[in-house]
Amino acid sequence: MRQWNRLDAVLNRFVEEETLTGCGLQIYRDNQLIYNNCVGAASADGTRPLTQDTRLRLHSMSKTFTCAALMTLYDKGLFALNDPVAEYLPEFSNPVVCVSDTDINDVVPAKAPITIRHLLTMTSGLPYWSFLPGEGIIQDDILVTVNEMAEGFREGKTYELADFVKKIAQKPLRFHPGEHWLYGLNHTVVGRLAEVLSGKRLSEYLKEAIWEPIGLDHTCFYMHVPEDEEIADLMVARELCEALGRKIGKDVFPAARGKAFGSKEDVLPGTNMGIELPCGGMISTLRDLGRYYAMLANGGQWEGTQILSRRTIGLMRTNHLTAEQLPDFTHMINRGFGYGLGYRTMCNPAEAGFYLPDRSFGWDGACGNFGIANPDHRLALVFVEQSLPHHIDYTIPRVIAAMNADMEL
């Protein structure tokens, strides 16, 4: 029987050293769960243990579900990667690029249309909203809209994804489509494309195409979590809490380690803005995420049901960035990786500083969750925690090194 001494020790150390309040890890091999361990708490006061069924904020890990949903429609032949987005969403017919750092109205026509490939690879020029002050005039402008929606949600309002995407389409791009890689709202538009092509709300299509076939019973959008179900507390460092508090008007707790945002709260407005937000608004569990990444590692198949074709899985885990775009992506934890269709993919383990087999692919979220799958080795790994800022640059190398040692990879 395999011993998991190193992995157990790493997870325990994360909590004992108070790096994390709680964390969990699952590993699948050949579609079988071979490691399952949760350590620590899901609540700041330590009264709720973290388990494989604790509901967790996914933040940007939501993107992996959204991109997979669109690619199931690709498998059905409903679009081509190089199709202009405007063929399906006319609001993107005349994109413009902002050429000023101070005037959002100083724009020029985009040199090329935005394609679906641009969205999936985050090379469209669409930015995110600002997370901290001074990130850019376009980002600050988008944040105004996001904060208005978050405030409306606190008052009981909800919104349609179609309307939010139309507002995104009115904003200028940061650069001409295809020139650079930029982390932005691309996958929010991907989610709207999935709605148009499927003829269903995104949550309905995700449930039909992915969540139900794999048995992801506790995965949904934040706005649909039942009132009587708790979500793990989100632990936010005091410095970040203060910075965001000044920007979005939240009170700052005096606790040394920051504020614990409770079951129905979040410091990031994108989670709780009253919309099925494709790029960051989902909730899941370690059990559900483990099954999802096991499906990816099994070539898109789960218990005899083909969710995504092997060819499409191959496209998703292939680097699509050019030599000119790649430097925009390869920083911090992305060193050694390229970017596929919604997922980072391993290209150079020596540069990454830790070993993963070539074209291992996955993604993470702002609160520290991450997943990795490799169909060649039929290996999947999912790690979960709930803290901001995340500790991915610390946790990923140590978890992977321990896994490699215990599995003798």
pLDDT digits (tens, 9 = 90+) for 313-332: 999 999 999 999 999 998 76
Select the highest-mean-pLDDT range: 187-191, 255-259, 391-395: 187-191
Q: Does 269 score more than 70 pLDDT? A: no
pLDDT of 266 > 60? The answer is: no
In a domain? residue 52: no
Q: What is the pLDDT of residue 35?
A: 98
Window from 22-36, 66-80, 223-237, 316-330 with minimum mean pLDDT? 223-237
Q: Please report, for the domain that includes residue 164, its CATH number.
A: 3.40.710.10
Owning domain of residue 98: 69-204
> Does 53 fall in a domain?
no
Mean pLDDT of 56-72: 96
Calculate the average pLDDT of the chain: 90
- At 131 the pLDDT is 65
What integer is the mean pLDDT of 159-181?
96
Inside any domain, residue 163: yes
Judged by average pLDDT, the poorest of 143-157, 169-183, 263-277 is 263-277
Tell me the mean pLDDT in the region 172-190.
96
> Does residue 56 form part of some domain?
no
Whole-number pLDDT of residue 240:
60
pLDDT at 258 over 50: no
Whether 273 maps to a domain, the answer reads no
Cα–Cα separations (whole angstroms), residue 283 to 12, 21, 58, 237, 239: 25, 19, 6, 21, 25
Residue 252 has pLDDT above 50, yes or no: no
Q: What integer pLDDT is reported at residue 186 of this predicted model? A: 97
Number of domains in the chain: 1
Residue 354 has pLDDT above 50, yes or no: yes
What pLDDT is attached to residue 251? 39
**Is pLDDT above 90 for 176?**
yes
Question: Does any domain span residue 74?
Answer: yes
* Domain membership flag for residue 400: no
Least confident among 54-63, 217-226, 254-263:
254-263
Global confidence as pTM: 0.92
Whether 84 maps to a domain, the answer reads yes
Q: Does residue 339 register a pLDDT over 80?
A: yes
The predicted structure's pLDDT at residue 262: 52
